[in-house]
């Protein structure tokens, strides 16, 4: 079928009625991901003017590569599927764009060549491709992970196997996935004396997307590892606590309610997942002509002001747990600020928020506002 996205025309296979894409596929649900990628690449080119080469490591229909080529990047499209390679070439020709198209395994391609920007967008976990990417990328690694159930702990054993960490299925499960993924990527990069800094990260629908700026120094890798640690979480009152370091020392009893149903997760990334100034730059460069402009602006606006606390809360879940009514989110956040705490909306859902208050302090502020 024919589709138009970001000003380019594509010929793509139809999506399966079972919701499972063909081996060479175009996923319309990833349009926001791809639109944000183009805006991020534009902002990053201003941040690092020498960045010029871009690898679309699993090109499939070629949509990412064609769009990057249309935006002026020196593009290489790679895929091990011969049908994907042919389709990518046809879509480049259809749009009068040039790129190198390689029929090869992505890992072999990355080990043989060096790129300024590498984009990993596999079906499922990106971890099998992370070593080659960090070993052979100069500036920016863009990563999509669609295996959100293992990442957030819903498929516990799979998460442990894939990410060499312990995920837990908590009420902030999307952010658990974000921080498990970033932890695994930081540890992988460190093996090559590469430090990573997440400059934009979001958990949207069925995937996590992150953009990692690289610094090729052992001390930078050490600094990234220092951002790792563990989370302790109470299943009864939803209290949570972060603990820096690679040696786990989980809480055995909840300091808020005294409960013993404690979960421990990690190592997770505890540091910031955005560069707020960079997010603002991406927002400025997001074209209104893109099909996801409204959704992207709303997302980026939230990310721009989202606090760097390592977990988020859901107001409705908290109020239900306490047997209290939930007021309007703006009023709820204002109550927290009036009580002396930082508070912001979070991008994980309409009633999600971040604050430096713990769950007991949030409840006190909520009850005080109710008189």
Binding residues: 34, 64, 79, 105-106, 234, 237, 254, 257
Closest listed residue to residue 264, CA positions, set 286, 281, 247: 247
Strand partners, 74: 53
User: Binding site residues for S-adenosyl-L-methionine, as ranges?
Assistant: 34, 64, 79, 105-106
Q: What Å distances lie between residue 74 and 116, 118, 261, 303, CA to CA?
A: 10, 12, 53, 29
| Tokens coding 278 | 């960079």
- Rounded Cα distance between 35 and 41, Å, is 10
The contacts of residue 93 (CB under 8 Å, 6+ apart) are none
Dihedral sign for Cα atoms in the order 146, 149, 155, 157: positive
Specify whether the CB–CB gap between 210 and 133 falls below 8 A: no
In three-state secondary structure terms, 339 is: coil
Going through 121-272 in order, the beta strands assigned E by DSSP cover 137-145, 195-204, 207-215, 228-234, 240-244, 262-269
| Tokens coding 150 | 């293992």
User: Binding site residues for Zn(2+), as ranges?
Assistant: 234, 237, 254, 257
């Amino acid at each position: 079928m024919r589709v138009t996205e970001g000003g380019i025309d594509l010929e793509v296979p139809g999506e399966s009625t079972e919701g499972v894409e063909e081996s060479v596929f175009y996923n319309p649900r990833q349009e926001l991901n791809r639109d944000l990628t183009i805006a991020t690449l534009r902002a990053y080119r201003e941040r690092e003017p020498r960045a010029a080469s871009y690898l679309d490591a699993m090109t499939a229909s070629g949509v990412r590569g064609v769009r990057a080529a249309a935006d002026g990047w020196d593009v290489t499209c790679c895929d091990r599927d011969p049908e994907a390679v042919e389709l990518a070439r046809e879509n480049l020709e259809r749009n009068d764009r040039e790129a190198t198209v390689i029929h090869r395994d992505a890992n072999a391609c990355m080990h043989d060549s060096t790129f300024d920007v590498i984009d990993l967008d596999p079906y499922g976990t990106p971890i099998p491709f992370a070593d080659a990417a960090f070993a052979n990328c100069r500036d920016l690694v863009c990563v999509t992970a669609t295996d959100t159930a293992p990442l957030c702990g819903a498929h516990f054993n799979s998460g442990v196997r894939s990410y060499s960490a312990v995920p837990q299925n908590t009420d902030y499960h999307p952010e658990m996935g974000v921080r498990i993924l970033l932890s695994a990527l930081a540890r992988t990069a460190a093996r090559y004396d590469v430090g990573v800094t997440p400059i934009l990260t979001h958990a949207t629908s069925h995937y996590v997307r992150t953009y990692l700026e690289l610094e090729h120094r052992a001390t930078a890798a050490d600094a990234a590892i220092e951002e790792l640690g563990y989370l302790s979480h109470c299943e009864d009152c939803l209290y949570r606590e972060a603990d820096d370091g690679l040696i786990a020392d989980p809480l055995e009893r909840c300091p808020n309610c005294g409960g013993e149903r404690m979960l421990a997760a990690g190592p997770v990334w505890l540091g910031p997942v955005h560069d707020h100034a960079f997010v603002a730059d991406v927002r400025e460069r997001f074209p209104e002509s893109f099909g996801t402009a409204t959704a992207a602006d709303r997302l980026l606006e939230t990310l721009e002001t989202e606090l760097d606390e390592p977990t988020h809360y859901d107001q409705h879940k908290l109020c239900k747990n306490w047997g209290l009514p939930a007021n309007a989110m703006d009023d709820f956040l204002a109550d927290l600020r009036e009580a002396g705490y930082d508070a912001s909306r979070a991008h994980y859902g309409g009633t999600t928020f971040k604050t430096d208050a713990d769950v007991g302090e949030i409840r006190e502020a909520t009850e005080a506002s109710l008189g």
